[in-house]
Amino acid sequence: MRAVRVVVLLAGVLRPSADGKSRLEVDFAAGATLGAVLDRLAERYPALDRRLRDEHGGLRRYVNFYVDGEECRRLDGAETPVGPGVEIQIIPSVAGG
C-alpha cells in the first residue's frame, strides 16, 4: 500500500493547544482512519486531544471533523477512512447561548 500523508487544519481556537499551529501533517505507512489520525495527534498534543475527544475516545459532540469537506458523522465517524492527500478540517460547531 502507498504511504499516506494526511493534512489536519485547525480552527483558530484550537491552535493554542497545538503549539500555535494551524496545519498539522500526519504520515502513515498505509491507509488509516480519522480515529487513527487523532490517536497520532494525541501523542503529540494531549491538550488538543482532550478538547477533541472524551476519555474513551468519543468525538466531542460540538466539534466537527470535516474529511475532504464532509462532516465525519455523515460518513463513518471516527472509522472514516482517510487516504493520500485527504484534508481534515476541525472546527467547533454552533453551540452555547
Partner 1 sequence: MASLTLLAIGTRKGLWVATSADGRASWRLSGPHQPVDSVYAVAIDTRRSPPRLLAGFTSEHFGPVVAVSDDLGTTWDEPDHRVIAFPDGADAVVSRVWQIAPASPDEPDVVYAGTEPTALFRSADGGRNYELVRGLWDHPHRAEWTPGGGGMALHTVLPHPTDARQITVAMSTGGVYRTEDGGGTWRASNTGIRAPFLPNEYPEYGQCVHKVARHPARPDRLFLQNHPGVYRSDDGGARWRSIAGGLPSDFGFPMVVHPHRQDVVYAFPLAADLERFPPDGSCRVYRSEDAGESWTPLSRGLPQNGFWSAVLRDAMCVDDAEPAGVYFGSRSGEVYASPDEGESWCRIVEHLPDVLCVRAATVPG
x-or-dash string of contact with partner 1, 3-32, rule CB under 8 A: --------------x---------------
Question: CB 59 → partner 1: shortest distance, Å?
Answer: 11
Collapsing DSSP to helix, strand or coil, 19 comes out as coil
Question: Scanning the structure block, which residue is given the C-alpha cell 503529540?
Answer: 44
Does residue 51 bind partner 1 (CB under 8 A)? yes
Question: CB 47 → partner 1: shortest distance, Å?
Answer: 4
DSSP symbol at 20: T
Residue 82 CA to residue 4 CA, distance in Å, equals 8
Does residue 95 bind partner 1 (CB under 8 A)? yes
Tell me which of 7, 21, 60, 81 binds partner 1, using CB under 8 A.
60
Stretch that binds partner 1, among 19-27, 28-36, 50-58, 68-76 (CB under 8 A): 50-58
Give backbone dihedrals phi and psi of 35, rounded to 5 degrees, phi first. Answer: -60, -40
Closest by Cα among 74, 73, 88, 71 to 32: 88
Closest by Cα among 95, 96, 91 to 9: 91
Q: Which residues bind partner 1 (CB under 8 A)?
A: 17, 45-47, 50-52, 54-56, 58, 60, 62-63, 92-93, 95-96
